[in-house]
């Protein structure tokens, strides 16, 4: 048997074995940047470059590969589950009737404010379609669609040490055609909410109803009238339990491993200790109790999964605030020309992505350099030591605010009031404690960019069954 050699090695030696003449690129001086994914992170990076161009920066050659047919990543809703039209795992985890689960003031683009987008104050917790429009509108304004190759899946990324560049092999998902290109920089922006973590429990094989991961959850109305078991104790479990009940589930039982979420749930939602096994359609829990249920939703999280990145370049991490090996949360320490965007456990979302994107852009433009590996490791270690002291959601928000400040201090992203967003997050956490089914009804959050105050929504979230942008943006006094 041949000694084991991985695909990465092979590709690297293929590249190094090539005659020099076969690997020319453009005029030989413009660096090439591969961006993997045209979701919020990828779009933020492209936007960052076009903003720099406005003030005269000479841009590298930007190539963004997107396996879907449209942009916005998981915000690009699909009814599909399982495999997509090309036979790949469906990327999206988005469900119908998703409304923002944190105030929009905490994720406002400082360079494209809600005032600019809506031209009027709007409530703080918009549904998916509204946020999708917001993301896409900024992208359209930046004229960045031209950089994106849609229906193009990245199959393999490897590094050639001799040339100090990357080979990126992509497939046209509908043509089945492969090609490989070389790049000076690679930015992985493919997200970490697409590959579900799916545990097994005894008895699942004989359970007569549907068992699904939250990744495949699409429309709560499917579960109207049913008794639902939700496995998990984080955002997905919290929101899908509420959703299901709101849209008519007969009951929702949430089973947790370590600790209950402990919210003051509406009638018909309750938490029990961990599922031990299922017998027929009866779920048994570790406290000896049991419930007969119609369907089981595994809200058991996602995996950072990059099967298209060669071993030695691959980020391996759980979903935490400050992953190992990423300087500033972005730069791959062994080779900072490889960057990862948005890989943190997220409180700040769009704004954190922007902060990371602006920083990555400046590095690629040569405005910043990476310090020595030793120094990067020291910096990461200090953040990770601090991470150890995080013991509440409030702490976690504060930690991420500091991380974002650290990035923003050094880039020309428009200023906004980070302290205010931190306070908003704290209010949000308190609102959830007060009323988990009603926290989205709180208003009066002020924009950290413009100071605009969010009004009441015309309908309390629990009663707002229509999640369209039209319904959300309609005006009117709040009905109770």
Q: Of 247-306, which residues contact a copy of itself (CB under 8 A)?
A: 295, 303, 305
Residue 480 interacts with a copy of itself (CB under 8 A)? no
Question: If we measure between CA atoms, which residue out of 365, 363, 355 comes closest to residue 338?
Answer: 363
Structure tokens at 33: 């940047």
- Tell me how far apart the alpha carbons of residues 116 and 179 are, in angstroms, rounded to a whole number: 41
Residue 466 interacts with a copy of itself (CB under 8 A)? no
Using CB under 8 A as the binding rule, the residues of this chain from 308 to 367 that contact a copy of itself are: 310-311, 314, 316
- Of 57, 136, 137, 212, the one binding a copy of itself (CB under 8 A) is 212
Q: Taking a C-beta distance cutoff of 8 angstroms, is the pair 78, 90 a contact? A: yes
Residue 219 interacts with a copy of itself (CB under 8 A)? yes
Residue 64 interacts with a copy of itself (CB under 8 A)? no
Contacts of 250 (CB under 8 A, 6+ apart): 225, 226, 227, 268
Residue 79 interacts with a copy of itself (CB under 8 A)? yes
Q: Across 365-430, where does the E strand assignment appear?
A: none
Q: Work out how close the CB of 388 gets to a copy of itself at its nearest, in angstroms, rounded to a whole number.
A: 26
Alpha-helical (H) ranges within 266-372 are: 350-364
Q: How many residues bind a copy of itself (CB under 8 A)?
A: 76
Task: With H, G, I as helix, E, B as strand and everything else as coil, classify residue 397.
Answer: helix
- Of 20, 29, 54, 82, the one binding a copy of itself (CB under 8 A) is 82
Residue among 90 and 377 whose Cβ is closer to a copy of itself: 90
Q: Work out how close the CB of 294 gets to a copy of itself at its nearest, in angstroms, rounded to a whole number.
A: 8
Residue among 89 and 121 whose Cβ is closer to a copy of itself: 89
Residue 155 interacts with a copy of itself (CB under 8 A)? yes
Q: Work out how close the CB of 305 gets to a copy of itself at its nearest, in angstroms, rounded to a whole number.
A: 5
Structure tokens at 451: 């100071």
Residue keyed to tokens 């590709």: 11
Q: Which stretch binds a copy of itself (CB under 8 A): 217-225, 355-363, 377-385, 402-410?
A: 217-225
- Of 171, 239, 271, 441, the one binding a copy of itself (CB under 8 A) is 171
Q: What is the dihedral sign for C-alpha 53, 57, 61, 66? A: negative
Residue 476 interacts with a copy of itself (CB under 8 A)? no
Alpha-helical (H) ranges within 159-266 are: 235-246
Burial 14-33 (b: 16+ CB within 10 A, else e): ebeeeeeeeeeeeeeeebbb
Structure tokens at 78: 């699909």
Residue among 94 and 110 whose Cβ is closer to a copy of itself: 94
């Amino acid at each position: 048997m041949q000694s084991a050699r991985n695909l990465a090695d092979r590709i690297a030696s293929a590249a190094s074995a090539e005659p020099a003449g076969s690997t020319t690129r453009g005029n030989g001086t413009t660096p090439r940047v591969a961006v993997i994914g045209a979701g919020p992170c990828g779009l933020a990076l492209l936007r960052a470059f076009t903003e720099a161009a406005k003030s005269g920066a000479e841009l590298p050659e930007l190539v963004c590969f997107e396996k879907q047919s449209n942009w916005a990543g998981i915000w690009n809703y699909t009814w599909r589950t399982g495999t997509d039209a090309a036979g790949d795992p469906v990327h999206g985890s988005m469900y119908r009737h998703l409304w923002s689960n944190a105030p929009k003031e905490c994720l406002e683009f400082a360079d494209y404010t809600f005032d600019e987008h809506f031209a009027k104050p709007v409530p703080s917790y918009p549904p998916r379609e509204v946020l999708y429009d917001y993301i896409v509108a900024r992208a359209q304004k930046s004229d960045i669609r031209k950089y994106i190759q849609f229906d193009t899946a990245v199959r393999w990324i490897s590094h050639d040490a001799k040339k100090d560049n990357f080979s990126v092999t992509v497939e046209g998902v509908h043509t089945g055609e492969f090609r490989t290109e070389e790049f000076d920089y690679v930015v992985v922006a493919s997200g970490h909410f697409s590959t579900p973590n799916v545990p097994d429990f005894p008895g699942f094989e004989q359970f007569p109803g549907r068992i699904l991961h939250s990744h495949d959850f699409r429309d709560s109305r499917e579960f109207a009238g049913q008794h639902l078991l939700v496995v998990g104790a984080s955002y997905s479990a919290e929101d899908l339990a509420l959703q299901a009940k709101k849209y008519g589930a007969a009951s929702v039982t949430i089973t947790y491993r370590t600790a209950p979420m402990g919210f003051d749930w509406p009638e018909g939602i309750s938490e029990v200790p961990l599922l031990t096994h299922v017998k027929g359609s009866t779920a048994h829990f570790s406290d000896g109790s049991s419930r007969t249920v119609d369907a089981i939703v595994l809200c058991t999280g996602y995996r950072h999964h990059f099967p298209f990145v060669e071993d030695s370049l691959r980020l391996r991490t759980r979903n935490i605030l400050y992953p190992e090996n990423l300087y500033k949360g972005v730069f791959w320490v062994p080779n900072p020309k490889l960057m990862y965007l948005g890989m943190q456990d997220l409180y700040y979302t769009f704004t954190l992505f922007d902060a990371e994107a602006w920083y990555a852009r400046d590095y690629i433009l040569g405005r910043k350099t990476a310090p020595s590996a030793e120094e990067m490791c020291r910096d990461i270690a200090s953040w990770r030591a601090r991470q150890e002291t995080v013991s509440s959601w409030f702490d976690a928000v504060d930690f991420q605010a500091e991380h974002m400040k650290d990035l923003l201090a050094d880039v020309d992203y428009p200023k906004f009031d980070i302290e205010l967003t931190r306070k908003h997050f704290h209010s949000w956490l308190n609102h959830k404690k007060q009323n988990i089914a009603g926290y989205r009804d709180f208003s009066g959050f002020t924009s950290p960019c413009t100071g605009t105050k969010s009004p009441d929504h015309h309908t309390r979230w629990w009663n707002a069954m229509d999640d369209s942008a039209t319904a959300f943006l309609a005006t009117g006094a709040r009905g109770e």
